[in-house]
Structure 1
Amino acid sequence: MADERNIYGYNPSLPAAIIFIILFGASTAYHGYQLTKARCWYFIPFVIGGILQIIGYICRAASHDNYYGIPLYAMQTTFILIAPPLYAASVYMILGRTVTYLHAENLSMVSVRWMTKFFVTGDVISFLMQCAGGGLMSTGSSMHDIGSNVTIGGLIVQLIFFGGFVVVTSVFHFRISRHPTSKSQADRDLTRGQGFKQRNWVTILIGLYLVSFLILVRSVFRLVEYIEGYGGYIMTHEVFMYVFDAVLMWAAMAVMNVYHPAEILGNGKGGNGSGYEETIQL
C-alpha cells in the first residue's frame, strides 16, 4: 500500500541526485570562471540558474527517505522549475549583442534597442508565474491545482516567447548569410581552417540553437507533465524528470561552456574575445 504521506509518489533517488549535483556543480563552477575572466555580466542569470539547479538537486538528495517533507519538496520543485527561465534571460541578451557586434542591426526583425527588453520581459513574466505556481503547489493539496494551472500558464508564456526568439534568430541568420556585413565576413575569414576549434559568430548562433532546442523540449515536457496533473504517470515516475529535464538542462549548460559567446563578444560592450581566449589558455 502506498504511503499516503509521500508527496512525490516515489522515493527520490539518492544516486541520481548526487550525480546531477556533481554535473551541475562542475558546469556552474566553470561558467563562473568564464564569466569572471571575460567580465561578461550578461551571463550572470545563466550562472544563477546553475546554482539553483544545484540547490534543487541537493534538496532532492535530502528528500531520499524523507519524501513527506514539504519544505524540501517545495524548494526542489521551485528551484528546478525556475532555473531554465534564467538560462533564457542570458540567451536573449546574447542575440542582441551578436547583432550589434556584427554591425547588422538593419538585418534584425526586431530592433536591437527593443529586442532584449521584449524577450526578457516575457521571460520575467514566465519566471514569476512559474515561481508562484511552484510555491502554490508546495503549500498543500487545496492549492495544488491552482498552482499547477499557474505553472502551466508560465510554461506557455515561455514557449511562446522562446518560439518567437528562435524565429527571430533564424531570420537574422538567414539574412546575414545572404547579405554579410564586412564585420561578419572578416570574422569568418579570420577563423577559416580551424576546424572544430573554430569560434566565430556562426558558432555563437549554433550554441543558441542548441540551447533553445533543449529548453523548448524541456518546457514541452513540463507542460505535458502539469497538464496531466498531480498524481499522473509522468509526475509519479522519477525517470521522466531526469531524462527530460535534468539531462537536457545540464546539456544546455555544457553547450554554453563549449560555445561560450564571450570568446567572440568579450564583455558584450563592443570588445572582442581575444583577452578571454588568452586567459583560458593560461
Structure 2
Amino acid sequence: MTNSATEAPSLYLYHPSHVLPAIFAALVGISLVIHIFQNFRYRFWRVTFFLCWGGALFTTGWILRCISSYYPANLNLYIAQSVFIYLAPPVYSAAAYNLVGRLMNYLPMHAVLNPNRVLIFFVYVGAAVESITVAGAAKNAAAGTNLNEYKSGGVLIAAGLVLQAVVECLVVAIVATVHRRASRTRMAPRNVKTLCYTLYGTSTFVLLRCIFRAVEAFEMFGNLGCTENCGPILSNEWYLYAFELGLMLIFTFWLNLLHPGRFLPKDKTRYLDLDGHTERFGPGWLDRRSQWETFVDPLDISGVLKGQASHEKYWLRSQAWPICKDGSFAEGTASNRKLAVPANQDVLLAETDEV
C-alpha cells in the first residue's frame, strides 16, 4: 500500500489508526501503574513481578505503534512495535506460572510437582517461546519482498504459538488437578476457588490469542507476496485490537481486580492446614533430591515408580508447626499488608529441624 505516487510504500496492509494505539497504550499503562501500586501494597513482587514487566513491554509496543502509524514506511519503527507487541503476552503468562507455584506452596498436600520448580520450568519454556516469537516477528517485519525471509519468520511465529498453547494447556491441567484434589478433601475455600477460576480465565485468554495469531499466520502463508486485499485479518486492523490487545487487556485488568496478593500469603512457607481454614508456618517444600534432579524430573516420576515420594510430607505433622496468629486467607481475615509472624516461629522451626 502506498500513501501517494511519490511516497515510500507503507509496511501496513491498511491505513493504521493514529488514535486507537494512543488510547490503548494509555489503558495498558494505567493497568501497569495499578499493578505496581498493588505489588507495593501487598508486598507481592516476587510472585507478580511479571505483570509489571509484561505491562511495560505492552505499553511500549502500543506507544511505538502509535508513532509508527505516522511513519508507516519506517522499517525500524515497524519492527520495534511488532516485536514489543508479540513479546508482552508470553511475559504476562509468566505471572500466571508463578502464581501456580505459589498456589501449590499454599496447598502442598495437593501439589502436582515441586512448587519451587514451577517457575523455573515454565519460565525457561516461556523464554523459549519469547525468543522464537521475537525472532519470527522481526523476520516478518523486516522481510519486505523477500518471500523466503517472510516464510521463515512465519514458521518461527507458528512454532512459538504452538509451544505457548501447549504450555497453557499444561497450566490449566495442573490447576484443575490441584482444584479437584482440594475440593475432594474440602480444602477449597473461597480464596483458592477465586485463584483457580482466575487462572482458568487468564489461560483461556492466552489460548484464544494463540488461536488468533495462528489463523493470522496461516493467512500470511496463503498470501505470500500480497500487497493488497490479503485476507480479512491481514487487511483489517480491528482484528488485532479485538484478539490481541482486547484479550490481553482483559487479562491484565482481571488481575488488577482480583490481585493474587489479596488471596495468597506472600510467605511461601505459610500453608493451609488439613482442616481447610487454619493456616500454619511450615518449613516449606522439602525435596530430598538435588536441584538438578528436581529440574529434570519436576513430577517426581522416579519417586512414583519407586513407590516413595522424594519430598517430606510435613503437613501430616500439623502440631509441629505454629498456627498463624494474624488470621487466615482462607477465611478472609489475613492480609499481606501487615503480616504478623508468631514470636515463637523460629523456635518451633528449630525444634522440628532436630526431629
TM-score tier by shorter-chain length is 0.7 to 0.9
Of residues 38, 41, 48, the one that matches 2:42 is 38
Q: Which has the higher helix share?
A: 1
2:29 matched residue in structure 1? 25
Pairing of 1:146-165 with structure 2 (within 5 A): 146-165=152-171
Gaps of 5+ in 1: 189-198
Mapping for residues 1-282 of structure 1, pairs under 5 Å: 2-3=2-3, 5-40=9-44, 41-104=46-109, 107-141=110-144, 142=146, 143-181=149-187, 184=188, 188=189, 200-229=191-220, 231=226, 232-233=230-231, 234-270=233-269, 274-276=334-336
For residues 61 and 162 of structure 2, the distance between their equivalents in structure 1, rounded to whole angstroms, comes to 22
Letter aligned with residue 217 of structure 2: Y
| Separation in 2, partners of 1:103, 1:140 | 49
* Separation in structure 2 between the aligned mates of residue 70 and residue 139 of structure 1, nearest angstrom: 7
1:99, 1:108 within 8 Å by CA — same for their partners in 2? yes
- State the AA in 1 paired with 2:112: M
Give the match's secondary structure for 1:87. Answer: helix
Deviation at 1:59, TM superposition (A): 1.2
Q: What per-residue deviation string (whole Å, max 9, x for no partner) do you get for residues 187-213 of structure 1?
A: x3xxxxxxxxxx612111121111111
Pick closer, same or farther for the CA change 1:154–1:268 going to 2, 3 Å.
farther
Distance 1:47 1:65 in 2: 28
Q: Higher mean Cα deviation, 32-41 or 70-79? A: 32-41
Inter-partner Cα distance in structure 2 for 1:157 and 1:171: 21
2:186 and 2:104 map into 1 onto residues whose CA distance is 12
Once the two structures are TM-superposed, the CA of residue 267 in structure 1 deviates from its matched residue by: 2.5
Single out whichever of 158-167 and 119-128 deviates more from structure 2: 119-128
Which stretch has the larger CA shift, 223-232 or 155-164?
A: 223-232
- After superposition, what is the alpha-carbon deviation per residue over 1:217-261, rounded to whole angstroms, capped at 9, x for unaligned? 011101110121165421221010001011110000000001111
Measured against aligned partners, the alpha-carbon deviations of 1:84-136 in whole angstroms (never above 9, x if no partner) come to 110111101101111111233xx233332433332222211111111111122
* 269-278 or 165-174, larger mean C-alpha shift: 269-278
Q: Identify the residue that residue 195 of structure 1 maps to in structure 2.
A: none
Change (3 A) 1:159 1:268: farther
Q: Equivalent pairs: percent with the same residue? A: 28
* Greater Cα shift, 68-77 or 4-13: 4-13
CA contact (8 A) 1:97 1:268 kept: no
- How many residues align? The count is 262
Mapped partners of 1:66, 1:266: distance in 2: 48
4+ residue runs over 4 A deviation: 1-4
With structure 2 as the length reference, what TM-score do the two structures score? 0.69
Question: Does the aligned pair in 2 maintain the 1:98–1:265 contact within 8 Å?
Answer: yes
Q: In the TM superposition, what is the alpha-carbon distance from 1:172 to its structure 2 partner?
A: 1.4
Paired residue for 1:194? none
Structure-2 separation of matches of 1:226 and 1:81 = 13
Q: Distance in 2 between matches of 1:43 and 1:71?
A: 32
Cα 1:179/1:275, change in 2 over 3 Å: closer
- When Rg is computed on C-alpha atoms for both structures, the one with the higher figure is 2
Q: Deviations over 1:167-204 (max 9, x none)?
A: 111121111101234xx5xxx3xxxxxxxxxx612111
Q: Is contact 1:25–1:51 with CA below 8 Å preserved after alignment?
A: yes
Cα distance change, pair 152–110 in 1 and its aligned pair in 2 (3 A): same
RMSD over aligned Cα atoms: 2.1
Paired AA for residue 99 in structure 1 = M
2-structure distance, mates of 1:210, 1:157 = 19
Do the aligned residues in 1 keep the contact of 2:105 with 2:111 (CA within 8 Å)? Answer: no
CA offset at residue 28 of structure 1?
Answer: 0.7
